[in-house]
Structure 1
Amino acid sequence: MKPVIVVHGGAGRIFKDREEGIRSGVIRAALKGYSILKQGGSALDATEEAVASMEDDPHFNAGCGSVLNENGEVEMDAIIMDGKNLASGAVSAVTCIANPINLARLVMEKTEHMLLTDRGAKLFAKVMDVPEIPGEKLITERSLERWKKKLEADSNPVEFKKEPGTVGAVAIDNEGNVACATSTGGLSNKLVGRVGDSACIGCGGYADNQVGAVSTTGHGESIMKVVLARLLLYHMEQGMSPEKAADTALNYMKTRVGGLGGVIVVSSSGDWAARFSTNQMSWATVKDDQLQYGIHTGELYTSSVSEALGSK
């Protein structure tokens, strides 16, 4: 099986002055994940590394770029899933952790549970020697400005659907195993303790070797109502291509509950798709040593991996 990785940096409105940084960020994440796959590494390792790369990049709403809750604090959600045995680990409402995706994997591999939240996740991180960092280190100037503006304007939550949120990755490795990983800071000015789709299996992501792997992004409450990731894979089980299944699932979410979002998917045969119903979604993929990426609807840039690495 030829390895494939697809990553996304969130669906929603992306301002022109941020496009270059966001595009570079998803390309960097895809190349890091693909490097692991090319060396014979697992899809699980590749997706975790790709997502961790975006958590470390302040351009994205995850890790150090996370938006703030109503109290001006960062609370993050993440999930990772292994398509080989349907094992999954997730964390929600975690604070003072640089890379929630790493903690989610530890939940999967070191506990009998699938999801730890808030105080429990914090205690578990301490037991696992995951370093705690000051909460303010995760707060960017932009996130703080957005928080203040929303407080002043008493913004309508509908607007949240238009903002980019969540990062994710899906991959298939040389052994034919698939995996997904998703991480987010959630909605700006959300209620304390709010948990969205990203930590919920079947919503923020799902991976099954028999079908494929999906990572979602968009309005979390809408995604949860339709269980978007698993819905997409269901359509693939019925014979749809990844692209057709993605469009069908996104259209159902839009017409049924008015939700907008995006998805990335890789099938068990190595076919992939990156689709969205929002204005933009940053994405990048590498297959057969060829890098492809885009942000706007219909946009697709292509280069070789060697060219991409040489320009960095």
Structure 2
Amino acid sequence: MQPILIVQGGAGDITDSRVPGKLTGIKNSIRIGIKILENGGSALDAVEQAVRSMELDENFNTGYGACLNTDGVAEVEASIMEGKNLKAGCVTLLHDIMHPISVARKVMEKTNHTFIGGEQAMNFARSQNFEVLPQGSLVTENAKLALEEFKESQAKGLDTIFSPTELDKKSVGELGETVGAVAIDVNGNIAVATSTGGITGKIPGRIGDTPILGCGTYADNEIGGVSTTGHGETIMRYNLAQRILQGIALKGVSSQKATEDTIKEMTQRLIGTAGAITIDKKGDVGIYFSSKRMAWAYTQGNQLIYGINPGEILKEDL
């Protein structure tokens, strides 16, 4: 099996000024992950390391640079899953932890559980020797500004991101920009990793789609793997990742068609926008988003293929 890695840096209303940072970060991520696969490493290692690189980069909404809740706190969450034995680890409501994706992997490998949240997840991270940073270390000036703008819009009586209507149709689903990676290795094993800071202005304690299997993340060697990004409340209600895989398994369509059709159907029915990256068991990739933009990248031979605007396909040497 030819190893393949595809990464996404979040779907949303990404401004022109943020495009260069997104593209640089996404290309750095893909180069880190693909090197692992080309050296015979596992899909699980590749997706974890690809996501870790984005958790360090303030151009993405995860780890350093995560969106803030109404209290000004960066509550982060993540999930990771491998498709051979359907093992997974999920964490939520972590704070001051740089790499929630690695905490999720420890949950998968070191416990008999799948999902841990809140202070017990923090205690677990400490027990696994993860560094708990000084309070507020994940908070950036851009995240603070986004929260201020959100609160100003609320004060003016604009609708809330938690209740999609025609009034907020333009903005719903464009505040998350969750990151993720999907890989298949030389042994045909599939793995998926997804990590996020959620959405700006979320209520403290809010949990999104990212740590929920079948919504933000799913991997199955017999079908494929999916990582999603966008408006979490909508993605959860539509069970987006699982529906994309059902399109591949039950309808017999390609990864691209299953990804595109499912996201279009979700946005048409529920308004909220999203994006997803998919790899099926044969190694075919699928990329689609109904949001304004989504940063994505994958490799093909010695070329890096990437984009951020609808219909855009850019190429450069690895």
Map of 1:71 onto structure 2: 71
Map of 1:182 onto structure 2: 194
Shift of 1:160: 4.5
Map of 2:277 onto structure 1: 264
* RMSD of aligned alpha carbons: 1.0
Shift of 1:103: 0.1
Shift of 1:153: 2.4
- Greater displacement, 105-114 / 151-160: 151-160
- Which residue type is aligned with residue 12 of structure 2? G
Map of 1:310 onto structure 2: none
Map of 1:288 onto structure 2: 301
Partner Cα distance (1:151, 1:134) in 2:
25
* CA deviation vs aligned residue, 1:145-199 (integer Å, no higher than 9, x gap): 1112222221531434223510000000000000000000001010000000001
1:13, 1:164 within 8 Å by CA — same for their partners in 2?
Answer: no
Partner Cα distance (2:192, 2:203) in 1:
27
The runs of 5 or more residues in structure 2 that have no matched partner are 162-167
Partner Cα distance (2:266, 2:133) in 1:
37
1:283, 1:293 within 8 Å by CA — same for their partners in 2?
Answer: yes
- Which residue type is aligned with residue 86 of structure 1? L
User: Structure 2 matches for 1:218-237, cutoff 5 A?
Assistant: 218-237=230-249
1:203, 1:227 within 8 Å by CA — same for their partners in 2?
Answer: yes
* Alignment CA distance shift 1:228-1:102 (3 Å): same
Shift of 1:17: 1.0
Q: Scaled by the length of structure 1, what TM-score is found?
A: 0.96
1:198, 1:205 within 8 Å by CA — same for their partners in 2?
Answer: yes
Map of 2:225 onto structure 1: 213
- Which residue type is aligned with residue 88 of structure 2? S
* CA deviation vs aligned residue, 1:194-221 (integer Å, no higher than 9, x gap): 0000010000010000011100001101
Shift of 1:304: 2.1
* CA deviation vs aligned residue, 1:48-86 (integer Å, no higher than 9, x gap): 000010010000000001010010001011000001110
3-state SS of paired residue (2:113): coil
- Greater displacement, 161-170 / 27-36: 161-170
Higher helix content, 1 or 2: 1
Map of 1:124 onto structure 2: 124
Residue among 156, 166, 175 paired with 2:178: 166
Partner Cα distance (2:288, 2:204) in 1:
31
Q: Scaled by the length of structure 2, what TM-score is found?
A: 0.94
- Which residue type is aligned with residue 256 of structure 1? R
Map of 2:40 onto structure 1: 40
3-state SS of paired residue (2:215): coil
3-state SS of paired residue (2:287): strand
Map of 2:165 onto structure 1: none
Partner Cα distance (1:92, 1:60) in 2:
18
Residue among 257, 262, 265 paired with 1:249: 262
Q: Is 2:213 the partner of 1:198?
A: no
Shift of 1:137: 1.3
- Which residue type is aligned with residue 221 of structure 2? N
The runs of 5 or more residues in structure 1 that have no matched partner are 306-312
Map of 2:58 onto structure 1: 58
Partner Cα distance (2:176, 2:307) in 1:
15
Q: Is 2:316 the partner of 1:303?
A: yes
Shift of 1:16: 0.9
* Runs of 4+ with >6 A deviation: none
Q: Is 2:3 the partner of 1:7?
A: no
1:66, 1:184 within 8 Å by CA — same for their partners in 2?
Answer: yes
- Greater displacement, 283-292 / 73-82: 283-292
Partner Cα distance (1:47, 1:134) in 2:
27
Map of 1:96 onto structure 2: 96
Question: Identity over aligned residues, as a percent?
Answer: 43
3-state SS of paired residue (2:93): strand
Partner Cα distance (1:164, 1:187) in 2:
5
3-state SS of paired residue (1:174): coil
Partner Cα distance (2:66, 2:57) in 1:
10
